[in-house]
Amino acid sequence: MNIALSAGVFLFLCIATEAALRIYDLARPKADACDHNKLNKTDKYGMYEPSSNADLIYELKSNYVKNYGPQNDFNDFGPKEVITNADGLREGRDYAIPKPSDTFRIVALGRSHTFGWGVKVEES
C-alpha cells in the first residue's frame, strides 16, 4: 500500500512539474528570429546567420568555409577547417532530397562536442 501511494505521489509530482514548466514556457516571451544584436554578440567568427525559422534565433551559415589555426583563441588543436554544406550542416558535401530509397540517414543534434570543435570535418 505504501509503495503504491509513493508511486502515485511521485507520478502526480512529475505531471504537475511538467504542466508548470509548459505553462512557464508559454508565458515567457519568445526571441525574435531576427534579433541581430544578439547574433552579433554571440558570433565572433561569422559562422551564423539569422534564421528564417521562428523557433530559432540563428543557424549555421550555408556553404561556410573557414580555416582556424593553432594561434587563435578558437581552438588549441591545430589548424582545422570548419565547413558547412548548402543545408548548413557540418559536412563537406550536399545530400539528395528526397533521399534515395536504399539510404539510411542518422543525424546527431547537440552542442560543441557533437559539432566536433577542433577536429577535421571527416572526423566529426
Cis previous bond, 98, omega within 30: yes
Model confidence pTM above 0.85? no
The string of pLDDT tens digits covering residues 10-60 is: 999 999 999 998 888 777 666 554 555 555 665 666 788 888 887 777 888
- Residues 6 or more apart whose CB falls under 8 angstroms from that of 35 comprise 50, 57
